[in-house]
Amino acid sequence: MVVFPPCKINLGLHILSKREDGYHNLETCFYPIPWTDILEIVRSDKFEFSFSGLLIPRNSEGNLCIRAYQLLKKEFEISAVKIHLHKIIPMGAGLGGGSSNAAYTLRLLNQIFELNISTHKLKELAAHLGSDCAFFIQDQPMIGSGRGEVLSPAAISLKGFFLVLVKPQVHVSTAEAYAGINLGQHSISISTILSQPIDQWKEKLSNDFEKSIFKKFPVIEQVKEKMYQMGATYVSMSGSGASVFAIFNKPVDYKNEFLGMDYWSGELK
């Protein structure tokens, strides 16, 4: 069976406090974007994992697809499978591609082995694999809190808008992103800001990672500034970077502006 794990963007990202377990409490809106990888899983006599496209870790510790299979096998004693991942979504981009692969592995295994695992249980399992993995269990915008694993539906739609995603050729690790932040004070919730017209987001909807990441990787800030110059209604870095997304009212000719970078564009449905 074949599925197409998507990526996500973050509409706002507030880092609220440091937790006793070493993680941070945050608030964000996860929004699914149809820039996808390709994941195939079939039953087999022995477990195999292969990949094509972008280079990814093969070992179980670094590969979330393998870890997702091992997690489900431990709890449900499923048989062996062959997994093939064609990797398209860039890594170190703040797009959650690895988390999406893990969540879709759980979803597909649930379907293949007819385990009838509830959505709630799948989210619990996904949360063991990464803070934003649980988001990818359902295909809809979500407000994320806690580490990002506490989810509630978000009343937001970008249908009809044109999105441009650009990733410069730099890699931002989550660890270095968190190392540079200053905990911010936010008087207005992201949900409240998103209920306002999109042309008001520029001054209100912020990503707390941008300040420190822009200092370390100026090219990311340059991409953001260029997108506003091109007429975007709203532009932000996604997650902990390095990708930047821009929301336009209509299609734009942008590829010559970002030569040598990874990019995706499309009208949102």
Dihedral sign, Cα of residue 257, residue 215, residue 165, residue 185 = negative
Closest CA to 99 of 28, 237, 5: 5
Q: How far is CA 214 from CA 67, 91, 140, 222, 262, in A?
A: 33, 18, 29, 9, 18
**What is the model's pTM?**
0.94
The whole-number pLDDT of residue 61 equals 66
Domains of the chain by range and CATH? 2-153 (3.30.230.10), 162-267 (3.30.70.890)
Residue 37 among the catalytic residues: no
Identify the active-site residue in 37, 87, 132, 262.
132
Residue 132 among the catalytic residues: yes
The whole-number pLDDT of residue 248 equals 98
What stretches in the chain show pLDDT beneath 70?
58-61, 184
The whole-number pLDDT of residue 174 equals 79
The whole-number pLDDT of residue 218 equals 97
Q: List, for residues 223-255, the tens digit of each pLDDT value.
A: 999 999 999 999 999 999 899 999 999 999 999
